[in-house]
Structure 1
Amino acid sequence: MSKFGILSPKYWGIVALLLFGISPVLAQKNLSFSATASSSSSQENHAEKLSIDGDLQTHWSSLSEDKNAWLVLRFPGATEVIKVEINFAPTAVPNETIYLQYLLNGDWKTFHKVENNRAKKIEIQLKKPQLIDRVRLTAQDQKAMEISEVLLLGQQYSDESGLENKPILVNQSGYNLYRSKRFTAPGISDETPFSIVNVKTGKAQFSGKVKGEKGDFSAFNPLTEDEFLVRVKELGSFPFRIGPNWMERVTYRNMIDFMLGARHYTGTVKDIRRISFAWRDGDFFNWSMQSLVAMYLSNPEAYERMERKGQYVSNESFADNYKGLWGKLEPFAPETPDIIQLIHWDADVKISQKLDHEMQKAELAHFLYAWPYLKQWLPQQNFDIVYQYLKDNWEKETVSEHSLSQYNLSKEHNLLSLKTQLGTTKGEMPPGFSVIPNLMLYEVALREGDVAAEKFFAAAYRQLDWMINNLDWSDPMTTKGQRMSEHMTMRAFAYFYQQFPERAPEGIPEKVKEWAQLMLDRSDNLWDFRKYSVEEWTPPGWNETGNILGFPAAVFAANGILEDKTLINDLEMLAWSHFENSFGRNPTGRQFSYKGPEEVEGVDLGWYSRHRGGIGLLDEVQFVFDGSPKSFHYPNFPEAGDLGWTEGWVQFNTAFNLSMAYMANYYTDIALEKKGKGKYIVALTAPLNFDYKTIESVSLKISNQSGDSMMVQLKEDQPLGVKLIGAIEFTGDAIFFENQKLPFGKDDTLTLSYGYGFFQRSLVLSVADFN
């Protein structure tokens, strides 16, 4: 057994030898025995597995009509191949041309070509060892393939740096109080006791038992700033903290700093980069605007109180080739919060460059929707020019060449049109991306008195109705196959259902429940990790970092629709397990950021490496998510080490932004508690307590039906609390807070609210609630 309790990959060949009775001297290097085979087609009694069964008298045959025959051998982990041997069936006519390929970022890359072949046996000595987890043999002569045996010779790859992690895998930074908390203990038997140990005292403060190679300590909620670790027998984890809003505490400022640094032209790099608009390497499908708007609407106080690091940058001091790239929108006011500056920046670049790809236009709808909450810092000109631009271009079917990139798949750019095309695993065209923008523009048009408002609602309705009736959740291309954009689909369901409950298409709850059950089915494993499909852990060949980071947004959106409490609780655990995955609870034992240990409080082991250069030049930006475990790391092969593509991407961070926004809204709550005659406590639960040594405060708005309002100041109830409270008085016809008075008639209602727009949380009270 390996140190992680699973048979080490270096022994797979030996096991295969014993099973097949083959001499260890020769066959120990034949890695094919550890593989599984699949193909483009196969004849009866000539299945793919016969190409790797060690018997030259049996063979795999593709169908005679298969003109693009291929055979794929997939290994349990990363494999270093140094030689390939292909044996054709005794009666076969050998293929003249065969390509050997490996999978990288979703595409098959050719690493060797066999041409003008006549031999029944092909031996290929590779000039350079090929490190792969699957190999594809493809016939390029449009003839059937008949192969009796494929031998892949080499050594199982072992990267010792992959063993720097701990045998017990946790969220290295820490866990939120009163939320799901789990760990993974590979190879540990069921019913093995575990304990949560206080690092400072050395004493166990919680205990439980391992089940399914994982443990749950959600019930452990200590009110202390001490560190803890998981102990299973003699094995331990990295230390971690447990605190109120811990995930928010260690990420909120980092999220903003990343967006500031990743700006095109004015961030940490001034260069003009290709495939970049407002953000370096952002492309047209980066979802930055909607992520920033969602962040602000979900928790405005947290972002308004942040230190201002950004400032307006005019392009007048730049070279001539920068003129017109931004600056069409008038500048924001002094002391504007960084998050509003970033929202302004995104809109300014899109308007200044007249970007008219359908997804760029759709992003601007979020800016217009949020205008009532932005206008205290932004000139009215900003709204007017963006609104006119969208009215002129929303239904425009064509797109300007400068708005495109090599990843464009849109057939036309009229956002009122029905969108039935699914994108690829690049993440560029998720189902339902036009639903929320159309509904937002509908609300904006109503606000502006536009008689044509209904056409936007009709387009959104038609789109979601199509999704309900046509999306097949079992097809990964409707879920995890959309990579970092998957959250768009479930968020569209939630927005329509919650904002327009009386007008939403039928079947939303049922469709979402189907999705939820499938997500749970695909997550029944030692990592609580939602797999790509039954067979595949991750999208084959891709750096899927943003998918893991964005999945919680989809979960929290779905939970706002579901009614089954058990289903909701199980899904909520999945949201947290994916946060845990990105912070070290994964087969590599590493947090996804190369600079994690220096940038994120509590992180011990960051990602193996970072990509220097690249289109985005993001390697020096704060809080880059560089990489995540690949298919050959799962279910538990840390020996694979630093393999597969590694590179930060704005799209990964914006997926995380959206998850954090949806999480903030999901847990925000307002309550009223009676403390005596006419005396009441207002309590707000929201992620605002980040500094445990400072008593935080927040202003909560209370308004009556007439539109009169007052602000009630709430403060933390304790240093490690998750609630902020304030005392009010009710006299029968008015509410009092300090020297403020708000009239409250017997037939009146009061609304207490936090957050804005579709993320506003409200408590509506009548006189009866005070009696």
Structure 2
Amino acid sequence: MNRKALLAVVMIATSMGYADAQSSNIAQHKSVSGFPVIDSNPFEYVVDGNDVSCWYLPEAVRTKYIEIDLDGEYRVDRVLLKNLNGIHDIRILARIDDRLTEVFKGGMPYSHLITFDPVKVKAIRLEFNKEPKVHGHKADVYIGEIEVYAYEPQPVMVNQTGYNTLGAKRFTAPLAVDGTSFKVVDSTDAVVFSGTIAKGVGDFSNFRPDIPGPYWVEVRGDDLGRSFPFRIEPYLMERASYFPAMAFMADTRCWYGNADEYTPTEAGPGCPFLGVAWRDSHQFSFELPVLISMYFANPQAFSRDRMPEQSLYRGLREDLPAETPEIVKMIYWAVDIYLKGEVNHTLLKSQLAWFVYAWPHLSEYIPRRVYDEAVAYLFPIWGNSEKGRWHWHDIDHSADLFQTYTILGSGKGQFPPGFSIIPNLMMYEVAKRENRKDADRFFEAAYKQTAWLITNLDWRDPATTKGQRMNEYITLDALSYFLKKYPKRAPKRLAAKLSSWADVAIERADNYWDYRKYAADQWTIPDIRYPDDPKFNPHGSFNEVGNIAGFPVPALAAAWAIEKYDADRTKADRLRVMATAHIDHVFGRNPNGRHFSYDAVHDFEGADLGWFREYDGGAGMLQTARGVLDGSVKEPAYPYHPYGGDPGHTEGWVTFNTAWIMALAYQAADVTSIEFTEVNSDEIARKIPKEGRVGVRLHAPLNLDPNKKEKAFVQVIHGTTGEVAKLALEEKGVNGHYFDGELDVHQLPFSVAPGTPLTVCYGLEHFRASSEIVFN
């Protein structure tokens, strides 16, 4: 059993891989032999599909080899060794009949991916001749898995999991010439959609099948290319993402979820891995903002019936009710640890502002005394300059959050521009709720900070966008939040600022990956130092998982503003295509053709091929965590050179996954809508007839079980008194797109007089979708 499954309370992901794609591992479960033969150390461990079962290289003989019979003839050009230790040199030979030909001899690449010119083979032999050593000392030397891949003359990169039925569906065929035909085929090889390639991209967005698949894309040029299998379903990507996203946040907490021994001091919080509530999180992972945003955007997705609790929550001062959603328990986990630790760092204070603002929506589960403690703690320290509890990789600044910050963080992501805007706006609302006389001071701070960004940020300078790495999303989230919540009080040119960000992003995404580049002549962030640092390497390449996974946030924030204020649907829709494409990039539509998670096949539904390797050790200790996004494509592989260059540093990080979770929140909000319909009809209702009955339809990512007809609940709000009722809706069919119900004004728990407006809504705060109608 995979090591993730051993530690998981609930196994949340299933593999739906197929062996049809050219880039599938052709060595798995094949016959294997070698030398020396040791019964207790079977060679089959390297082809069993599980990199935890390892073949240990014996010390007794100098030359050791292992040979995999591929059960057929293939043109092979790649061998990947997974979960290995102590192997520094290797020789690879290709067997045709009884003849062995050397195809590689040398040191082990960092990626553990060995590439060579395509060669016809029936078997692959790996030889190990040198005395195995680790850090100069004899130690266990082993290989967990050997994967062998065939040459791809016509590569076809898709989202390995698949696509949402109503969303963009694009793939990349980087070697196909314009006009090359493609077809989408089902499991019977029947053609269900066809089209042509343009600039390396195939688009089948108009294919909206009722049958989920599997499907494949085939591209016929000089050679036939066939993609990995994928599925097309309503809200497939939410179903494939929510569970690993939440599992990651549960698995990566400090003390593995048991805070019994939490003893914070001035020196540190006691989490031994460079974090406060999450391992290796530092102070700039923004856990509370992203968890609260995810809950705001799609609260019922995290109900206990849809997402059962799977982790420990020990050592906290409050025992929350049994029905508390786990995402709310995670929120309280951070709040309790921050308050007990008396955090005073700029960014940690800002996180607590999200909690006190959101608490009324969480009060069903988190007691008022927690809110009161947070309010009493937070207001007195908001303007204090001290920030000693706690920080890592910080830059010199004052923690006084009333000031206008004129400094930007580096590519480390530790100080993104505009981070204080939303917290100040939230504190403004909390101050009014608490009848404080200083409420306006918070609004003024947010206003001045926003105005400074509008005037001083140059979107053409990548230091303000992709150069912020995983935390670029913070800036656009803040600007759009201000505009959504205070459209009449926002600084001038705010909508235009969001639109101008989009202009630069669209320009830099004009490529066959729909991928927003760092600059015109650079694909990835080259260095995490400041560009004016003498040591800045303009030609480098850094791990930027979070920037790619988090890209839907700025893209959809800008799309909303453009649609509302510019009425430019074409521009907004291009941003939506780019947002989807960046998640596709994470899920395999990239030059390496790999999902960004090393354990993708185990942790993500439908994934076929995970990242090259995972980081061994590290401050986050992520090897046993589920849903880790480990590595991203580096500069040498773009635009398409999948075996060229080292894929660079690979290491998951809480800050990468939190950016992705915020993207999930924005994507949920973007596809959520609610409307009134005529009873038993799809026609939009303009008013409630005197009989008092009207249909309600909700589109939201709540179809998380494709085999079950699920329920959803929306709020009905009296337009005059503000009274609230709950209305149950039912999924239309099984694995459906929307939820339907009927509102009868005479059955509401409050009276509705003729002429009274009623509002139905789903979601919370700035992510609330609503519709209003009048009872005739």
Q: Point out the structure with max Rg over C-alpha.
A: 1
SS in 2 for 1:644: coil
Matched with 2:639 is 635
**Counterpart of 1:715 in structure 2: which amino acid?**
E
2:725 maps to 1:710: yes
Name which of 666, 671, 688 aligns with 2:670. 666
Matched with 1:500 is 486
2:219 maps to 1:232: yes
| CA pair 594-131 structure 1, distance change in 2 beyond 3 A | closer
Name which of 182, 189, 193 aligns with 2:177. 189
2:377 maps to 1:389: yes
Q: Is the 8 A contact 1:273 1:616 kept in 2?
A: no
Deviations 1:231-252 (A, max 9, x none): 1112110000000101111111
Q: Is the 8 A contact 2:271 2:277 kept in 1?
A: no
Displacement after TM superposition at 1:765 (Å): 1.8
Deviations 1:525-566 (A, max 9, x none): 111100000111000121000000001011111112113111
SS in 2 for 1:715: strand
Name which of 735, 741, 763 aligns with 1:755. 763
Matched with 1:419 is 405
Deviations 1:212-243 (A, max 9, x none): 01100000010113200101112110000000
2:648 maps to 1:644: yes
Residue correspondence of structure 1 range 686-697 to structure 2 within 5 A: 686-697=700-711
2:241 maps to 1:251: yes
Name which of 226, 231, 235 aligns with 1:241. 231
Residue correspondence of structure 1 range 193-212 to structure 2 within 5 A: 193-198=181-186, 200-212=187-199
Q: Is the 8 A contact 1:162 1:642 kept in 2?
A: no
CA distance in 2, matches of 1:414, 1:162: 56
Q: Is the 8 A contact 1:255 1:653 kept in 2?
A: yes
Q: Is the 8 A contact 1:559 1:571 kept in 2?
A: yes
CA distance in 2, matches of 1:576, 1:217: 14
Name which of 536, 542, 545 aligns with 2:522. 536
Q: Which moved more, 1:519-528 or 1:165-174?
A: 165-174
Residue correspondence of structure 1 range 44-55 to structure 2 within 5 A: none
Displacement after TM superposition at 1:764 (Å): 1.9
Name which of 643, 658, 668 aligns with 1:654. 658
Matched with 2:387 is 399
SS in 2 for 1:623: coil
SS in 2 for 1:647: coil
CA distance in 1, matches of 2:225, 2:639: 20
CA distance in 1, matches of 2:439, 2:476: 24
CA distance in 2, matches of 1:671, 1:214: 35
Name which of 453, 462, 470 aligns with 2:456. 470
2:478 maps to 1:479: no
CA distance in 1, matches of 2:257, 2:608: 28
SS in 1 for 2:570: helix
**Counterpart of 1:220 in structure 2: which amino acid?**
F
Q: Is the 8 A contact 1:308 1:335 kept in 2?
A: no
2:500 maps to 1:514: yes
SS in 2 for 1:333: coil
Displacement after TM superposition at 1:132 (Å): 11
Residue correspondence of structure 1 range 295-694 to structure 2 within 5 A: 295-305=294-304, 306-314=307-315, 327=316, 329-400=317-388, 402-405=389-392, 407-540=393-526, 541-563=541-563, 564-640=568-644, 643-675=647-679, 678=691, 679-694=693-708
Deviations 1:79-120 (A, max 9, x none): xxxxxxxxxxxxxxxxxxxxxxxxxxxxxxxxxxxxxxxxxx
CA distance in 1, matches of 2:356, 2:151: 47
Displacement after TM superposition at 1:600 (Å): 1.0
4+ residue segments displaced more than 6 Å: 128-133, 159-162, 268-271
Structure 2 unaligned residues grouped into runs of 5+: 1-20, 23-105, 119-146, 262-269, 527-540, 681-688
Displacement after TM superposition at 1:274 (Å): 3.8
CA distance in 1, matches of 2:411, 2:610: 26
* Structure-1-length-normalised TM-score: 0.75
Displacement after TM superposition at 1:598 (Å): 1.1
Matched with 1:764 is 772
Matched with 1:724 is 739
**Counterpart of 1:244 in structure 2: which amino acid?**
P
Deviations 1:457-488 (A, max 9, x none): 00000000000111000000100000000001
Q: Is the 8 A contact 1:162 1:588 kept in 2?
A: no
Q: Is the 8 A contact 1:331 1:379 kept in 2?
A: no
Q: Is the 8 A contact 1:158 1:640 kept in 2?
A: no
**Counterpart of 1:726 in structure 2: which amino acid?**
G
| CA pair 268-474 structure 1, distance change in 2 beyond 3 A | farther
* Structure-2-length-normalised TM-score: 0.74
Matched with 1:54 is none
| CA pair 445-720 structure 1, distance change in 2 beyond 3 A | same
CA distance in 1, matches of 2:517, 2:433: 43
Deviations 1:379-409 (A, max 9, x none): 2111011111111211001222x4122x111
Matched with 2:13 is none
Displacement after TM superposition at 1:606 (Å): 0.5
Displacement after TM superposition at 1:131 (Å): 7.9
CA distance in 1, matches of 2:456, 2:151: 44
CA distance in 1, matches of 2:342, 2:763: 31
Matched with 1:265 is 255
Q: Is the 8 A contact 2:279 2:619 kept in 1?
A: yes
SS in 2 for 1:219: coil
Q: Which moved more, 1:604-613 or 1:634-643?
A: 634-643
| CA pair 310-131 structure 1, distance change in 2 beyond 3 A | closer
Displacement after TM superposition at 1:643 (Å): 2.4
| CA pair 751-366 structure 1, distance change in 2 beyond 3 A | same
CA distance in 2, matches of 1:365, 1:159: 57
Matched with 1:180 is 168
Displacement after TM superposition at 1:449 (Å): 1.2
Displacement after TM superposition at 1:612 (Å): 1.3
Q: Which moved more, 1:671-680 or 1:695-704?
A: 671-680
Q: Is the 8 A contact 1:244 1:690 kept in 2?
A: no
Aligned residues: 598
CA distance in 1, matches of 2:647, 2:574: 32
Q: Is the 8 A contact 2:109 2:646 kept in 1?
A: no
CA distance in 1, matches of 2:770, 2:394: 41
CA distance in 1, matches of 2:323, 2:728: 22
CA distance in 2, matches of 1:671, 1:459: 37
SS in 2 for 1:680: strand
Matched with 1:67 is none
Q: Is the 8 A contact 2:258 2:313 kept in 1?
A: no
**Counterpart of 1:526 in structure 2: which amino acid?**
Y
Displacement after TM superposition at 1:254 (Å): 1.3
Q: Is the 8 A contact 1:223 1:720 kept in 2?
A: no
Q: Is the 8 A contact 2:761 2:768 kept in 1?
A: yes
Matched with 2:275 is 276
Displacement after TM superposition at 1:163 (Å): 5.7
Displacement after TM superposition at 1:350 (Å): 1.2
Q: Is the 8 A contact 2:257 2:311 kept in 1?
A: no
Displacement after TM superposition at 1:333 (Å): 2.7
CA distance in 2, matches of 1:311, 1:612: 25
Q: Is the 8 A contact 2:170 2:201 kept in 1?
A: yes
SS in 1 for 2:678: strand
Deviations 1:329-363 (A, max 9, x none): 53423332110110001111111111111001001
SS in 2 for 1:560: helix
Deviations 1:52-85 (A, max 9, x none): xxxxxxxxxxxxxxxxxxxxxxxxxxxxxxxxxx
Name which of 727, 730, 746 aligns with 2:754. 746
